[in-house]
Amino acid sequence: MREIDSICTHLLAAKVIPVLRLASADQARTVIDCLLDAGFTTVEIALTTPGAVQLIAELRARVAQSFLVGAGTVLNVQQARQCIDAGADYLVSPCTAHGIAAIAHDAGRAVLLGAFTPSEVHAAVKEGSDIVKLFPASSGGPSHLAALRAVFADVVFCPTGGVDAGNMAAYFNAGAAVVGVGNSIIDSKALSAKDGPRMVAHAKQYLELAAASA
């Protein structure tokens, strides 16, 4: 069983969490393999991806224990239990869904609950969120994150939703400890063309930008 602090330390060191919402399980497998080749040490599979829970179980079984598998868009305790049973190392929700943190912590896993307003950030922390997912980050931008950080100096934030290569550095400068990057981490044309090397090169840019922002 993974220790919660160890998982959080790993995510903060990773700096970038790819958040995958894809049209099929096969597409997800292709993208995950490219992300592995690019050097990522974690990936979040959103439950909106077909067969997501099975993908989580499959990925957890075939990659090294040092690679963290996250479950995203977890909205209730039933989904949380399914993802934990499948081997998810951490759970991510777009909101402060009651009970998810308790299930994750009972299993020794970490949780990132979603929040946008100061009241929601406070509620997420009270609920037990280890890292607060600022979502949707694009609605307020880096300045919104900076304002929240001024009030919640001890909260670890992960802005997600609209974070891309063009604004990622601004989010780190505003106080992000780690960022969640959606499908912009994928070169969609390369995916359609099944051009793996091009997809790997595109994804690597995010690791390079994160390293430069450290």
The token pair at 131 is 């890292």
Rounded CA separation 138/79 (Å) = 26
User: Phi and psi (nearest 5°) for 30?
Assistant: -60, -45
Mean pLDDT of all residues in the chain?
96
Q: Where are the domains of the chain?
A: 4-212
Give the predicted TM-score (pTM) of the model: 0.96
At residue 128, φ and ψ (nearest 5 deg) are 110, 15
Q: Where are the beta strands (DSSP E) in the chain?
A: 16-20, 42-46, 68-72, 90-92, 110-115, 131-134, 157-159, 179-181
For this structure, is 3 an active site residue? Answer: no
127 is catalytic: no
List, for residues 59-94, the tens digit of each pLDDT value: 999 999 999 999 999 999 999 999 999 999 999 999
Catalytic residue from among 44, 58, 120, 127: 44
pLDDT given at position 1:
42
Percent of the chain with pLDDT over 90: 97
Q: Is the backbone peptide bond immediately before 159 cis, with ω within 30 degrees of 0?
A: no
Catalytic residue among 15, 120, 127, 133: 133
The CATH superfamily of 4-212 is: Aldolase class I (3.20.20.70)
